[in-house]
Amino acid sequence: MEKDQSRQRPEQKAALGDMGNENSILDDLQTLEIHHWYKKFMSECPSGQLTEHEFKHFFGLRGLDPEANKYIEQMFHTFDMNKDGYIDFMEYVAALSLILKGKMEQKLRWYFKLYDVDGNGCIDRGELLNIIRSGRVFEAEFDGHLSGGP
């Protein structure tokens, strides 16, 4: 699989550059990593387009508290950079690359986009409260799984 971005659709180019950086974070990926991710993605999602439901299943995020569910939905919508209701392979790779290899500034920009739910460029009081609530929910979920809970 080549890294030639000239053959990508315009929305893919925009998506790759929109995760919070000037240069494509895919430049640092090795071909073998991309191939591995492609095989996993296509084995779990043969259509090549991950829906929100499949996203939750893919990452084992089922049966969550309603607050945690809202957070996961917002995460899905942040990864769905072209806003078509699906995460395609390029969006998936861009998200994984950001999470696994992104610089701190890139990650902070992505987190800001994640928590700026209304997209107005500011995190207002309500959004800040959601950040705190979702942190508490995930902490409780994580503690429950560690102690053998649901």
CATH of the domain at 86: 1.10.238.10
| Residue 61 pLDDT > 50 | yes
In a domain, residue 1? The reply is no
Give the whole-angstrom CA distance, residue 89 versus residue 56: 16
pLDDT tens string 4-60? 444 445 444 444 445 554 455 555 567 788 888 899 889 888 999 999 988 888 777
In a domain, residue 23? The reply is yes
Q: How confident is the model at residue 80 (pLDDT cuts 50, 70, 90)?
A: very high
pLDDT at 15: 47
pLDDT at 85: 95
User: How many structural domains does the chain have?
Assistant: 1
In a domain, residue 3? The reply is no
Secondary structure (DSSP) of 80-136: -TT-SSSEEHHHHHHHHHHHHH--HHHHHHHHHHHH-TT-SSS--HHHHHHHHHHHH
In a domain, residue 2? The reply is no
| Domain that residue 87 falls in | 8-146
pLDDT at 145: 45
